[in-house]
Amino acid sequence: MTDSESTRIREFAARLTGADSSAWAATFAQVPRHHFVPSFYTMTGDGWKEVKNGDPEYLDGVYADTALTTQTDDKGIPNSSSSEPSLMLAMLDALNVQPGNSVFELGTGTGYNAALLCARLGDENVVSVDVDDELVGAARDRLARLGYSPTLAAGDGAAGYPGKAPYDRLIATARLRFIPRAFLEQSADGAVMVVPLGFGVARLTVTGTTEAHGHFMPLPAHFMPRRVESMAPRFAELETQEARPTTVNVADVLERLSFPMSLAMPDYTSCTWVDDDGTPSALGLWTGDGSTATATMTGKVRQIGPRRLWDELEQLAITFQDADGVSREDFGVTVTPNGQRVWYGAENGPSWALPAE
């Protein structure tokens, strides 16, 4: 490692962990992010540009507190990244690891988070799974070059990794739509789980292997979704549907209700159409089961599919009509053998069922 790299890492870890006394401070100073992110992509007017180690802007980029896109799919949509370091730290802090704890991670990505876990807990206690076998191979090499050999596997992390269960701690670094049943089954009694759900991160404690209860952390989080089969929006079919009026302020919706929407419709995607002068004219909304809705800024709604997404949104608008702002900490998650729900305010408050697996 060059002197300039060592200085960067020390300064980066101090900046990241300085204000609080995180038990992870020494670990962030020890594990070089640049080793796991030898290049990343930035969006320019001409599309994605790769920034490589050695490029003038590389070290500033890799030691900034930002998420870095490390891979895109064939449509140019990012499908792997090194997460924002302060968010990684907050999630690791929330995991509250104790010496000797075993940890399962969904989403190996670059291997950086797995390396931090290995440095803290020993690689015999770390298991990490990514759906992309090439990423797993690259992460394995990078980890090995620093002397770490956790258990890595390629596959859907929602199935956990039964071979090394039970786990004391479980962390996901891809956005989930529900708590995978395997996470509970492979948890030790009292295990702690820190998982992105919707546009937030939930911290749950497991009781036995069938129940978990927890709250959302205050921080916003926009993780890339766990990769699953999903349907494209059905905008063309909507053209033939009769429009109905809506009283919900379309412009306000995505802004104010985006977090509760991300829980009530955990895999929703949205888009906006704009006029020639750049003024938004309509909003599109869809979920992976093919449910699709559009609403014009003048309040005309069309919807199709198994779920009536705009009807659900109108219900949310009623539930949150008196809330000035929506705080993530006011939401919680309850998992029982009968199902999973996210709730607002209290377990018996307004709640939304999470989809079954």
Give the active site residues.
83
Q: Provide DSSP, 103-125.
A: EEEE--TTSHHHHHHHHHH-GGG
Closer CB to ligand SAM, 180 or 332, in the complex: 180
What minimum distance in Å lies between the beta carbon of 331 and ligand SAM?
22
Min dist. Cβ of residue 127 to ligand SAM (A): 12
Q: Annotate each residue in 56-95 with x if it binds ligand SAM (CB under 6 A) or - if it does not, as one string.
A: -----------------------xxxxx------------
Q: Which tokens sit at 243? A: 């429009």
Which residue stretch of 109-117, 143-151, 243-251, 310-318 sits at the interface with ligand SAM (rule: CB under 6 A)?
Answer: 109-117
CA atoms within 13 A on the CB side of 342: 28
Q: How far is the CB of 132 from ligand SAM (least distance, A)?
A: 4
**Residue 157 near ligand SAM by CB under 6 A:** yes
Site string for ligand SAM, 166-195 (x = CB under 6 A): -------xx---------------------
Span from 108-116, 204-212, 229-237, 300-308 in contact with ligand SAM (CB under 6 A):
108-116
Q: How far is the CB of 104 from ligand SAM (least distance, A)?
A: 11
Question: For ligand SAM, which is the closer residue by CB, 227 or 308?
Answer: 227
Backbone angles phi, psi at 5, to 5 degrees: -65, -45
In this chain, which residue has its C-beta nearest to ligand SAM?
109
Give the residue with the Cβ less far from ligand SAM, 175 or 302.
Answer: 175
Report the site for ligand SAM in 196-235 (rule: CB under 6 A): 223-224, 226-227
Answer yes or no: are the C-beta atoms of 121 and 97 closer than 8 Å.
yes
**Interface size with ligand SAM, residues (CB under 6 A):** 25
Q: Which residues of 131-268 form beta strands (DSSP E)?
A: 151-154, 167-172, 187-197, 200-207, 211-216, 244-245
Amino acid identity, position 87: L
In the complex, minimum distance from the CB of residue 33 to ligand SAM, in angstroms, rounded to a whole number: 9
How many CA atoms, within 13 angstroms, populate the side-chain half-sphere of residue 320? 27
Q: Please report whether residue 27 would count as binding ligand SAM according to CB under 6 A.
A: no
Per-residue tokens: 17: 């962990």
Among 17, 27, 101, 110, binds ligand SAM (CB under 6 A): 110
Contact residue for ligand SAM among 24, 112, 161, 331 (CB under 6 A): 112
Closer to ligand SAM by CB, 129 or 317: give it. Answer: 129
Q: Where are the beta strands (DSSP E) in 184-279?
A: 187-197, 200-207, 211-216, 244-245, 269-274
Given the rule CB under 6 A, which of 21-29, 154-162, 186-194, 294-302 is the region that contacts ligand SAM? 154-162
Question: In angstroms, rounded to a whole number, what is the distance separating the alpha carbons of residues 189 and 181?
Answer: 15
Among 94, 97, 119, 131, the residue binding ligand SAM under the rule CB under 6 A is 131
Q: Helices 112-121 and 85-95: crossing angle, nearest 10°?
A: 40
Cα separations (Å) of 76 from 41, 70, 80?
Answer: 11, 12, 11
Helix, strand, or coil (residue 329): helix
In this structure, how many other beta carbons lie within 10 angstroms of the beta carbon of residue 327?
12
Shorter beta-carbon distance to ligand SAM: residue 121 or 135: 135
Q: Are 209 and 233 in contact (CB under 8 A)?
A: no
Q: Does 160 bind ligand SAM (CB under 6 A)?
A: no
CA–CA dist 174, 118 (Å, integer): 19
Burial of residue 75 (number of CB atoms within 10 Å: 0-12, 13-18, 19+): exposed
The residues binding ligand SAM (CB under 6 A) are 79-83, 106-107, 109-110, 112-113, 129-132, 135, 156-158, 173-174, 223-224, 226-227
